[in-house]
Amino acid sequence: MKIRRATRLDTRQMADLLNGIIAAGGTTALTDPVTGDMLWDWIETGSDRAAWHVAEQDGEIVGFQWIGPQDDLPEGACDIASFVRIGQTGLGIGSKLFDATQEAARDLGYAWINANIRADNDSGLTYYQSRGFRVYGHVRDYRLNDGQVVDKVLKRFDLD
């Protein structure tokens, strides 16, 4: 498996992977399908303090991870989002992505990484805990775009 920075050519496969997760429901706050063009726009117009990595195996994108600033976070913090193809979780893809992401976060000058995880996303909660993230807060009654209301767990990973 190869971990590398995401490129324009990856965005169609990234969108297909993410749309499978969105359609399955229950693990992401995203509720509307995305396109490769949308993802490329997010990458291109995002902050110069963002990093996007993909996990590629045999020419197929099997996961991707993003970090970047968020308006509701302090200057030294970035947000993270992680996605692994359905049926391929638990194989070390997320761990390898996080190694690259952690290095990128340090290079970009961040002090800590924030994860907003749906409280009903057991696999996401377990993943971030296994990486060393710790709970520091909760968001109650968060309304998703489709009207569903969920709670979120806020976790942080200190980079020092």
Strand partners, 150: 142
* Helical residues (DSSP H) of 25-155, grouped into ranges: 36-45, 93-107, 122-130
pTM: 0.91
Domain positions in the chain are 2-114
Q: For 70-112, write each residue's pLDDT tens digit.
A: 999 998 999 999 999 987 766 689 999 999 999 999 999 999 9
Total length of the chain:
160
| CATH number belonging to the domain at 2-114, selected among 3.40.630.30, 3.40.50.1360, 3.10.20.30, 3.40.1010.10 | 3.40.630.30
Q: What is the mean pLDDT of the chain?
A: 93
Strand partners, 52: 66
**Residues with Cβ < 8 Å from 35, sequence gap 6 or more?**
15
Q: For 14-35, write each residue's pLDDT tens digit.
A: 999 999 999 987 778 788 899 9
Which tokens hold the place of 15? Answer: 């969108």
The pLDDT value given to residue 36? 96
DSSP state of 121: -
Nearest-10 crossing angle of helices 36-45, 11-24: 110
Give the three-state DSSP class for 1. coil
